[in-house]
Amino acid sequence: MIVASLACYYALIQPTRQGGGVPPAKRTVIVQDFTGRNVTVKVPVDRIVVLSELDELAAVGGEDALRKLVALNIWRYKQWRPDWWEEWIKHFPWLANLPDTGQVGQNFNPEVVINVKPDVVICWPGQYNQLKESGDLKKLEEAGIRVIAVQLLPITTNITEHLNAVSKTVKILGVLLGKEQRAEELIRFYEEQINKVVTRTMHVEKRPKVLVFITSSLWTAYGMKGYYHVWVTLAGGVNLGDKVVKGFSGDVDPEFVINENPDVIIFTCNNNFPEGQRVVVGYTINSTRPAKEALKGLINRPKWEELQAVKNGRIYLIHHGFCHEKIFQFFALQYLAKWLHPELFKDLNPYANLQEFYSKFMLFPLRGVLAVELNDP
Amino acid sequence: MNIKVLRVKNLYVGYRRGPVVKNISFTVQRGEVCALIGPNGSGKTTLLRSLAGILRPLSGSILIDERNVNFMRDLATKLVSYLPQNIEGAPRIAALEYVLLGIAISKGLWRVGEEDVDVAYGALAMLGIEDLATKNVNELSSGQRRLVDIAQAIAKKPRILLLDEPTSSLDVKNSLEVLGTIKVLTKMENLITVISMHDLNQVLEFADKCIVLNGGELVAFGGCDEVLTPQLIEMVYGVSAERVNVNGHTRLVILKPKSYEESACSIGNCF
Amino acid sequence: MLVIFSILASATFLANICIGLTFVSPFQALCSVLGDNHCVDESTRFIVVNYRIPVALAALVSGAALAIGGAAVQAITNNPLASPYTFGISSAAAFGAALLYSLNISLIPSMYAATVNAFLFALMACLGVISLSRARGLTTVGVILAGICISFLFQALLALMEYLAAQDVLQAIVFWMFGSLYKVTNEKLLIVAINTVGSILLLLRCSWKLTAMQLGDEGSQALGVNVRRMRLMVLVVTSLTTAVVVSFFGIIPFVCIAASHIARLLVGEDEKYLLPCSALVGASILSVASVVSKVVQRGAIMPIGIVTSIVGVPVLMHVILTKRGG
């Protein structure tokens, strides 16, 4: 009787969590991840280590999932995404007390992971390969730890492949966290956002010529195997870098830029500018002025005043961190679409869409300046 | 500029480990060929280096015409020609250019003039090796290289000539010819010449004065005839010698070292 | 020989101007320079004046600067594999830039902070080498050992900066280190040119003494060369020259060694010919490398440091295999 009343009490008082009431019972599943391996794992998992980033975990599993973290790649956050890290610990200060695994390929410490006895380690395929090469993977597997690699941005302009990759990743996370329903919602939201662009650009006739530059170096542009090859093409443009840079990125001949006369020029950077460490975009920025100043400096090159892009003021800056391997990377596609085809996407509001995403799926509201046009009012 | 006298007074020269040349004093007049002799390690090279301005003396003085020139490198460069015992490196430059090197540096020139080229060529000719003028130094035999080095030393037209074993690696004929040339040059140009030598008969033939060193100390200084007695030779070198007269020339015949007979070591006994 | 190399240098310079994304004929190039708008169209003139000529001139003077730096250092250390880079100048300069990017520390805050940082640290490396080797009496061995020591120091510091760097900062450091002549500006060109010409003249004045230094310390001192002062002077002059090139354009390896080696093979070891010839060979090599970097993938520019490395390694192997004594 005591047991029964305790059970009822438990069932009734149980706070409603996102995605359902009573936690589902455990079952064993086989997950095929992005390295092609079949990984057997008992789900839902209770102890998680994340070597990549937190947003995807949070989007699928909410605060519950966050609380299941037993270790995290804090080093990467502090070094490479300091303003994002500040947001996270502002809302969840206990994150800072988690053991730090270190960045794969630099100072990764497998012992930290082994000590916390996780059910699963989540990382990117690139990180998986690095773990394999350094021998750390073997150590983790010998300790019975499952490593699962997920990917959100394969370099392909085939929209089906793209959506499949995102869907697969989100589903994997859903299964692991016991939040399959929410995962489905997330996938639907993402596909909707992507389709808002792709359905229109599929039939577009005039494809503007685009060059996407890295701000860390004067003449380096993204090429055939770079992320922006995907975004520019899907957004209905032509990535000029594809012509001459066959790899991820490379230096272009200044004459090439003059000759090709791009219609749109986009600069990408993370939350800071390498030279002088100016912060021009990111969560902590409230105004578009710093970015615009930066852009003015960047386009100050001989004869650029005669380029179509400069004459028409089609110069943009976008936060690189939001554009790859993120569950909200649709933001990049939408901004690019708006910039490449302003008339076609007059009704599209990427920032508002991202805000909606944040309020529905993320654990804190969106803020900051993430994409800037040189000439917007 | 003619130098009359080179005087050394109570000279101590050495390195960090201590003085190698101890309390040496002697005087050389212009037009004199002075032979510097002594066993290996007696300090001959060290003394020459200090006279050349390369090694600063520990104490004492070196006086040129009563002017103290201890370690005055610039003066040394212009007035002194020093030929070291060994020169590293055989650069790929023509022998003539090599000789010009000495002239150019001593005169502080950027470009050499025709007169300089003539002097260089003349120096090579004086030693009978003008045909080597266009050959690269790294292609010469050790004897030819030595001759070229000597040519370089005399082409500088120094007032003081310091030669450290100039005839090593030269054959008998070349040795005698070179020494003869140097002696003639010394007399004609009123040079002060100090040559470190091993062959005592060559000393008798060509040198006017002898400086004898042993263990860094001056054992004897004076005319070679008077200085090179069998007693001195035995004391300094540990070999027995006899003076003989051949066709009016005094010569020394070296007999085997005394200790040789008393040595327990004979073939088959030592190994 | 000097004449031949001058012609070679001029030819490669011209080639560098004419070859590129679009071919510009020498006649058009001349017209562009003369500002005559009738014989060449505006866009070609613009390209020649704003991109081709500055880059070609940069290749010329930088190649010459690096080459004489190499030749001079090789003379005073009697080692055909020595170069200013073995003093750690390149690592120190890279560290200077990395320091700015990673920790935002600039020694003299300005628009050109990275360049200034790089230059000052390169000079510091040279100072380090000079002081260390002075402790060993500025001997050949002393200089080489000091160079190795300072080199390792700055490589370690550079690695530390890279470790501490954010992702795009890391990228920035890497891109900085790749040599690129496209960072050229008129001011930079002027500074490098004055520096290079000054160094050549200074070194030529001492060319006899530099030649003598191949005879070893004893031999050269016998001729009246103040070996310590010579080594000091050469270290200072080459440090300045190389530091300027590295901080302006990044790290361009192998020109120092390759140029002087080729020149040495052809003109021998007489410094009064070797120095100017090395300079001309260096200018030619870098001009050729610049052409190659434009042509490999038209429209893209392959970092010039990579091109010189690929060409330089066989030359280096040849040096090692034919090295005789010294």
Asked whether the predicted pLDDT for residue A162 surpasses 90, the reply is: yes
Among A156-170, C152-166, C230-244, C311-325, name the most confident range: A156-170
What integer is the mean pLDDT of A258-268? Answer: 92
- Write the CB contacts of A32 (distance below 8 Å, at least 6 apart in sequence): A38, A39
Whether A103 contacts chain C with CB within 8 A = no
Looking at the DSSP bridge assignments, the partners of residue B68 are B63
Q: Which of C78, C224, C269 sits opposite B77 (nearest CB)?
A: C224
In chain C, where the domains are located: 2-322
Asked whether the predicted pLDDT for residue C28 surpasses 70, the reply is: yes
Do the Cβ atoms of A363 and A66 come closer than 8 Å? Answer: yes
The number of angstroms, rounded, from the C-alpha of B188 to the middle of its chain's C-alpha atoms is: 18
Whether A217 contacts chain C with CB within 8 A = yes
Do the Cβ atoms of B185 and B31 come closer than 8 Å? Answer: no
pLDDT at A88: 92
* CA-wise closest residue to A214 among A317, A291, A308, A311: A317
Indicate yes or no: CB of B54 within 8 angstroms of CB of C214.
no
Using an 8 Å CB-CB cutoff, list chain C residues near B76: 224
CATH superfamily of C2-322: ABC transporter involved in vitamin B12 uptake, BtuC (1.10.3470.10)
Whether C25 contacts chain A with CB within 8 A = no
Can you read off the two tokens belonging to residue A208? 């503007």
pLDDT band with cut points at 50, 70 and 90 for residue B269: low
- Residue B245 per-residue DSSP state: E
Using an 8 Å CB-CB cutoff, list chain B residues near C222: 52, 54, 82-84, 87
pLDDT at A78: 87
Indicate yes or no: CB of C114 within 8 angstroms of CB of A220.
no
pLDDT at C91: 86
Using an 8 Å CB-CB cutoff, list chain C residues near B86: 218
Of A106 and B210, more confident:
B210
Whether C112 contacts chain A with CB within 8 A = no
Q: Which of C208, C219, C268 sits opposite B88 (nearest CB)?
A: C219
Domain spanning A24-194, CATH architecture? 3-Layer(aba) Sandwich (3.40)
What integer is the mean pLDDT of A71-86? Answer: 88
The number of angstroms, rounded, from the C-alpha of C217 to the middle of its chain's C-alpha atoms is: 27
The pLDDT tens digits of the residues spanning B141-156 come to: 989 999 999 999 999 9
For chains A and B, tell me whether 3 or more CB atom pairs sit within 8 A of each other. Answer: no
Q: Does domain A204-373 have CATH number 3.40.50.1980?
A: yes
Q: Which of A79-83, B103-107, B255-259, C233-237 has the lowest mean pLDDT?
A: B255-259
Q: Which of B73, B84, B136 sits opposite C219 (nearest CB)?
A: B84
Total residues belonging to chain A: 377
- Residue C48 per-residue DSSP state: I
Q: Which of A86-100, A263-277, C207-221 has the lowest mean pLDDT?
A: A263-277
The pLDDT tens digits of the residues spanning A229-252 come to: 999 999 999 999 999 988 888 889
Do the Cβ atoms of A222 and A245 come closer than 8 Å? Answer: yes
> In the predicted model, what is the mean pLDDT of chain A?
87
> Which amino acid is residue A62, in one-letter code?
G
What integer is the mean pLDDT of A351-369? Answer: 91
pLDDT at A13: 46
- Write the CB contacts of B269 (distance below 8 Å, at least 6 apart in sequence): none
What integer is the mean pLDDT of C153-169? Answer: 85
Neighbours of A325 (CB within 10 A): 18
* CA-wise closest residue to A39 among A155, A130, A144: A144
Residues 110-139 of C with CB under 8 A from B: none
> In the predicted model, what is the mean pLDDT of chain B?
86
Indicate yes or no: CB of C21 within 8 angstroms of CB of A276.
no
Do the Cβ atoms of C93 and C122 come closer than 8 Å? Answer: yes
Q: Which of C113, C166, C171 sits opposite A272 (nearest CB)?
A: C166
pLDDT band with cut points at 50, 70 and 90 for residue A377: very low
The pLDDT tens digits of the residues spanning B155-186 come to: 998 899 999 999 988 999 989 999 999 999 99
Chains near A with 3+ CB pairs less than 8 A apart are C
Using an 8 Å CB-CB cutoff, list chain A residues near C114: 275
Of A209 and B237, more confident:
A209
ipTM of the complex: 0.82
pLDDT at A169: 94
pLDDT at B263: 53
pTM of the model: 0.81
The pLDDT tens digits of the residues spanning B205-263 come to: 999 999 999 988 999 999 988 888 888 888 888 888 888 888 888 888 888 776 655 55
Q: Which of A200-214, A313-327, B257-271, C47-61 has the lowest mean pLDDT?
A: B257-271
pLDDT at C309: 84
Q: Which of C224, C270, C325 sits opposite B105 (nearest CB)?
A: C224
Sheet holding B32-37, edge to edge: B67-68, B59-64, B5-15, B18-29, B217-223, B209-214, B32-37, B192-196, B160-164, B80-83
Q: Which of B1-5, B38-42, B222-226 has the lowest mean pLDDT?
A: B1-5
The pLDDT tens digits of the residues spanning B185-199 come to: 999 989 999 999 988
DSSP string covering A54-91? SHHHHHHHHHHHHHTEEEE-HHHHHHH-HHHHHHHHHH
Asked whether the predicted pLDDT for residue B267 surpasses 70, the reply is: no
pLDDT band with cut points at 50, 70 and 90 for residue C325: very low
Of B262 and B42, more confident:
B42
Whether A294 contacts chain C with CB within 8 A = no
Provide CATH 3.40.50.1980 ranges for chain A.
24-194, 204-373
pLDDT at A69: 94
The pLDDT tens digits of the residues spanning B88-133 come to: 888 888 999 999 998 998 888 888 889 999 999 999 999 889 899 8
What's the start-to-end Cα distance of chain C, in Å?
A: 25
The pLDDT tens digits of the residues spanning A278-315 come to: 678 888 888 888 888 888 888 888 889 989 999 999 99
- Write the CB contacts of B94 (distance below 8 Å, at least 6 apart in sequence): B133, B134, B135, B136, B137, C270
pLDDT at C235: 86
Indicate yes or no: CB of A258 within 8 angstroms of CB of C47.
yes
Using only the alpha carbons of chain B, give its radius of gyration. 20
Separation of alpha carbons C14 and A79, rounded Å:
47
Q: Locate the chain A residue with the closest alpha carbon to C171.
A: A216
β-pairing, A38-43 with A27-32? antiparallel
Do the Cβ atoms of B62 and B50 come closer than 8 Å? Answer: yes
pLDDT at A19: 47
Max Cα distance, chain A (Å): 86
- Residue A4 per-residue DSSP state: H
The pLDDT tens digits of the residues spanning C86-143 come to: 888 888 888 888 888 777 777 777 667 778 888 888 888 888 888 888 887 777 788 8
Q: Which of C46, C166, C299 sits opposite A243 (nearest CB)?
A: C299
The pLDDT tens digits of the residues spanning A2-47 come to: 555 555 455 444 444 444 556 667 899 999 999 999 999 998 999 9
Quickly tell me which residue has 């990408």 as its tokens: A268
For chains A and C, tell me whether 3 or more CB atom pairs sit within 8 A of each other. Answer: yes
Separation of alpha carbons B158 and B160, rounded Å:
5
